[in-house]
Amino acid sequence: MRAMILAAGRGSRMAPLTDDCPKPLLEAGGKPLIVHQIERLRRIGVTELVINVSYLAERLIDRLGDGTALGVDIRWSVEPEPLETAGGIRQALGLLGDAPFLLVNGDVWSDFPLERLTAPLERDLARLVMIPEAAHHPSGDFHLTGTGRLRLEGEPKRVYAGIALIDPELCAALAPGEKRKLVEPLRQAISDDRVGGVLHRGEWLDVGTPERLGELDARLRGIDRA
């Protein structure tokens, strides 16, 4: 199984830290955020990685190279202009192949066991990790039924955690180079009852601001910030 790490965003909420450093290379616990993601994937045996890049792309490519030093094989999908998540996936399909792949946002931290996602999708186009709620997104995203199906309607709305198993077919109909958010093909697939979900009640953090980066750094270093 392959995995795609999303790393093309500008990280504007992280300014000024990202003025001259791509967000995935910001450090927490003594190592870059993206290295934490790579190591988690490697621990479950996923070593064929695709990483999409745009803002300060050369910094990431120069730092990580082909992944040999981290025990993985990295292929880079370079976007001259950021294509959003679905557009980025479509751009990278030639590198990802035809089989379902793990998708991980480069700026989330979680103790979710990734191996829980790797069961066959059967007829589904995606399986999303959902968390009960998030302070920065009180309205939520989708309803998760008791049988593990995602619905556009229903309460409570859970929040997409930025971790998923994706069938390439989900984004294959997009035009190459098209800018598109992931929620658009997801909503259609959910309407067709082709998306499942897994609820995660453990640790999760959207590392999108300097304050949250500091929180994660303290947590990983075992520092009490209270």
Quick: pLDDT tens for 144-185.
999 999 999 999 999 999 999 999 999 999 999 999 999 999
- Is residue 14 included in any domain, yes or no? yes
pLDDT value of residue 11 = 84
Residue closest to 35 by CA, chosen among 168, 220, 224: 220
pLDDT digits (tens, 9 = 90+) for 101-125: 999 999 899 999 999 999 999 999 9
Check whether 222 has a pLDDT greater than 60. Answer: yes
Assess if residue 127 is contained within a domain: yes
Pairing of strands 195-199, 142-144: unpaired
Which domain range does residue 154 map to? 2-220
Q: CATH number, domain at 123?
A: 3.90.550.10
Quote the number of domains for the chain: 1
Query: Please, what is the average pLDDT of the chain?
Result: 95
226 within domain boundaries:
no
155-165 in b/e form (b: 16+ CB < 10 A) is eebbbbbbbbb
Percent of the chain past pLDDT 90, that is, above it, reads: 93
Q: Judging by DSSP bridges, how do beta strands 31-32 and 27-28 pair with one another? A: antiparallel
Does 225 fall in a domain?
no
**Residues in CB range of 135: below 8 A, 6 or more apart:** none
The whole-number average pLDDT for the span 79-102 is: 97
The pLDDT of residue 226? 44
